[in-house]
Amino acid sequence: MPIYKAASSRASSSSLQDDDSSPSETTARRQSHTTAQADRTRSSRAQRQLASSMAGNGKAAAAGVVVPEIKYTKLFINGEFVDAVSGKTFETRDPRTGDVLAHVAEAGKADVDLAVKAARDAFEHGKWPRMSGYERGRIMNKLADLVDQHTEELAALDGADAGKLLLLGKIIDVPGATQMLRYYAGAADKIHGDVLRVSGKYQGYTLKEPIGVVGVIIPWNFPTMMFFLKVSPALAAGCTVVVKPAEQTPLSALYYAHLAKLAGVPDGVINVVPGFGHTAGAAITSHMDVDSVAFTGSTEIGRLIMESAARSNLKTVSLELGGKSPLIVFDDADVDMAVNLSRLAIFFNKGEVCVAGSRVYVQEGIYDEFVKKAVEAAQSWKVGDPFDVTTNMGPQVRS
């Protein structure tokens, strides 16, 4: 996390922007970062409150490494767990130890074709798009209930697969996922068109329809939240989905497919195809029968996805890509608070966040003091087993 010295004179925030950032972009980043800081502060408070109650539940035993039970490792296509057509598997490893957690079925183009066909059949001939919005919402709420009931297992899966703090998964990731599900469940019966008075006796109207088959490609930093951030609105609208989780963290997505079936989501509506970007991911983005792609990941891959979408069937694309978020500290700030917030900004979720506070601009009057305290704060941050409640930060998924 670079720390830059800024001139002593009171500069406007716009004068401290990067050359490629507009004032509105910087304001938006600051607002987003302020919200994130509040969330992180709540997370830290909750961690302190829950630490004593968790200490005796066996999850954070000092001796040995906790490995959750892994139940689902096959592709999920048309309501069934199946092997890859090729029979290939790939290893998903525990970032704590480097040990293999599981061998997961590796989807290739043939598997993506099967998943897209299942999704297309479910969209064109199945009942999901033809249900009332109320009924779709009811099933989505049931899925949210099931996710809530399996919070322990799901947080543990992401802890082992992504190195994510167990407590973070339990108080932020899984509850955040169910909140998204419930929000879009409530929106499912409120998707309405408009009637417009054009002129004279003529009226126009708009009719909103589900777009069709949606390809979803999610990253490894928030496997649970990203799954539901993208799947939930698609389900509410009546779309069907083909999800490719990150190859580093495929396990929780497969568990969610299982829970979706239990909740009553019809076969073919949700399909999960773990695999690699250059094979399974590329097959989704270039597929002529996929109508839209939603992706979160690097800017480089985002460009490739836009190109692939344009070259195939001009499918719509929604992208959430990387960022480089600055923090600005003026000399009238509370230095201790600023240091603590900057530490949280860069180390929250191991820094594996698209809005991580990866640069700090400090006014020169407090620069030396800030740097000294920032070094001390970083040195006191404990990196360790995410199942240990005394750990501040788990291992990196990618280094």
- pLDDT tens, position by position, 203-225: 999 999 999 999 999 999 999 99
Domain with CATH 3.40.605.10 in the chain: 95-190+206-320
CA 376/CA 214 separation, integer angstroms: 47
Is 80 designated active site?
Answer: no
Average pLDDT of the segment spanning 359-370 = 95
Given 152, 320, 364, 369, the catalytic residue: 320
Among the four given CATH numbers 3.40.30.10, 3.40.605.10, 3.40.640.10, 1.10.150.20, the one describing domain 95-190+206-320: 3.40.605.10
- In order of 224, 244, 293, 367, 397, the CA distances from 161 in angstroms are 11, 16, 25, 39, 8
Q: For the segment 15-54, what is each residue's pLDDT rounded down to a tens digit? A: 233 334 333 333 333 333 333 444 444 444 444 443 333 3
pLDDT of residue 119: 99
Q: For the segment 112-125, what is each residue's pLDDT rounded down to a tens digit? A: 999 999 999 999 99
